[in-house]
Amino acid sequence: MFNHGSGETLASSMASAVQSEEPWFGYYWGPTVPLGKYDMTKVDMGGYDEEIHNHNMNPDSPNAGVSDFPAAPVLTSITTDFKDREPEVADMLSKMTFETAHMSALLAWMDENNASAEEATVYFLSNNPDIWTHWLNDSAREKLTSLLN
């Protein structure tokens, strides 16, 4: 298991293992470029157990055990003023969701192509209509689809 000192060092160790066709075992968070670039397999830890996880966070705990890490929620927040001023955008934001793997893949594409956020947006929209079309109302979906075609 690779005990890293930084995210950059950890990402380098993953890249080195992949390039050398060697196994790699460690822990990493997502979404990130390395998880989008490399075909990593998540080890099933049997789910998150808060009590065990709390013990695992204490190196002196005699009750360490097996637990996954807790999910880190990602929230979309807007002001009441924004919601009143832009109700259609607020509605879209309330529906917008995607899997961590999709974001990791997009981050990897950006890295490999030295792409800007704007270029990544066009790439994502052009290649993932099955994801984003559910976020939009009929009128906006038609306009965006027409623009992309």
pLDDT in tens, 89-99: 999 999 999 89
In this structure, is residue 68 part of a structural domain? no
Position 63 scores a pLDDT of: 87
Q: Please state the rounded mean pLDDT for residues 56-65.
A: 91
Q: Please state the rounded mean pLDDT for residues 109-124.
A: 97
Q: Please state the rounded mean pLDDT for residues 13-39.
A: 91
90 class by beta-carbon count within 10 Å (0-12 exposed, 13-18 middle, 19+ buried): middle
- Tokens found for residue 43: 């080890």
Give SS3 for 59: coil
Q: Do 87 and 139 sit in the same domain of this protein?
A: yes
Which residue segment(s) compose the domain that 122 sits in? 80-148
In this structure, is residue 35 part of a structural domain? yes
Predicted TM-score (pTM) of this structure: 0.82
Position 15 scores a pLDDT of: 92
Q: How far apart are CA 51 and CA 47, in angstroms?
A: 12
Total domains in the chain come to 2
Position 3 scores a pLDDT of: 63
Q: Do 31 and 86 sit in the same domain of this protein?
A: no
What is the band of 76 on the pLDDT scale with cuts at 50, 70, 90?
A: very high
- Tokens found for residue 21: 């066709």
State how far the alpha carbon of 142 is from the alpha carbons of 7, 129, 131, 134, 138, in Å: 41, 12, 15, 12, 6
Q: Do 84 and 134 sit in the same domain of this protein?
A: yes
Position 94 scores a pLDDT of: 95
Unique residue bearing structure tokens 């950059």? 8
- Greatest extent of the chain over all pairs of C-alpha atoms, in Å: 61
In this structure, is residue 1 part of a structural domain? no
Q: Please state the rounded mean pLDDT for residues 63-81.
A: 92
pLDDT at 73 over 90: no
Q: Do 88 and 144 sit in the same domain of this protein?
A: yes
What is the band of 5 on the pLDDT scale with cuts at 50, 70, 90?
A: low
Q: Do 49 and 89 sit in the same domain of this protein?
A: no
Unique residue bearing structure tokens 């704007």? 118
Q: How far apart are CA 31 and CA 42, in angstroms?
A: 13
Q: Do 100 and 139 sit in the same domain of this protein?
A: yes
When mean pLDDT is compared across 3-7, 114-118, 120-124, the lowest value belongs to 3-7
Position 17 scores a pLDDT of: 92
Position 112 scores a pLDDT of: 97
Where would I find the H helices in 38-132?
50-56, 80-85, 87-95, 100-113, 117-127, 129-132
Q: Do 51 and 11 sit in the same domain of this protein?
A: yes
Closest-CA residue to 66 (of 74, 55, 76, 75): 55
What is the band of 1 on the pLDDT scale with cuts at 50, 70, 90?
A: low
